[in-house]
């Protein structure tokens, strides 16, 4: 479960960009999480379900590493969640993953295109 989903306070490093989140924008993913999703999507491009499932297993192992900082754990969890989503999407799909054909990614891009950033004093 991500920090946004469980709402657990104090789980991020004070030196990270996530530490500046206010309760009003807690549901908004951080730039680090978005970058993690993009990395996973680039890695998943061309993979079939079994390959994505193997990558998910590796991401889960990496996320369980005890030496992760809070920021690193947040990013690792974002990667796990994206691998889970992609593996689920490929479960009944005979082809390979391509973000250009991923309805979730397209919806996310559409939503971000219409999202108005908060005023500078709320960042």
Q: Total domain count for the chain?
A: 1
Structure tokens at 20: 């500046």
Distances (CA, A) of 8 to 1, 3, 16, 79: 10, 6, 16, 19
Question: Model pTM?
Answer: 0.70
pLDDT at 110: 83
In a domain, 80, yes or no: yes
pLDDT at 119: 67
In a domain, 5, yes or no: no
Note the maximum CA span of the chain. Answer: 48
In a domain, 17, yes or no: no
Q: Answer with the residue of higher pLDDT: 110 or 120.
A: 110
In a domain, 78, yes or no: yes
Q: Answer with the residue of higher pLDDT: 18 or 97.
A: 97
pLDDT of 56-115, one tens digit each? 999 999 999 999 999 999 999 999 999 999 999 999 888 999 999 999 998 888 887 776
In a domain, 66, yes or no: yes
Structure tokens at 3: 């920090």
- H and E: helices and strands count for the chain: 5, 0
In a domain, 15, yes or no: no
In a domain, 91, yes or no: yes
In a domain, 1, yes or no: no
pLDDT at 81: 97
Q: Answer with the residue of higher pLDDT: 5 or 70.
A: 70
Residues of the domain holding 58: 31-115
| Residue 87 CB burial class (10 angstroms; 0-12, 13-18, ≥19) | buried
């Amino acid at each position: 479960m991500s920090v946004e989903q469980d709402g657990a306070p104090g789980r991020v490093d004070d030196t990270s960009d996530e530490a500046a989140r206010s309760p009003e924008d807690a549901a908004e993913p951080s730039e680090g999480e978005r970058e993690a999703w993009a990395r996973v999507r680039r890695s998943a491009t061309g993979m079939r379900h079994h390959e994505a499932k193997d990558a998910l297993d590796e991401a889960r192992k990496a996320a369980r590493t005890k030496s992760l900082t809070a920021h690193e754990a947040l990013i690792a969890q974002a990667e796990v969640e994206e691998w889970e989503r992609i593996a689920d999407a490929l479960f009944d799909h005979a082809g390979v993953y391509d973000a250009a054909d991923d309805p979730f990614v397209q919806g996310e891009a559409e939503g971000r295109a219409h999202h108005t950033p908060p005023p500078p004093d709320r960042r």
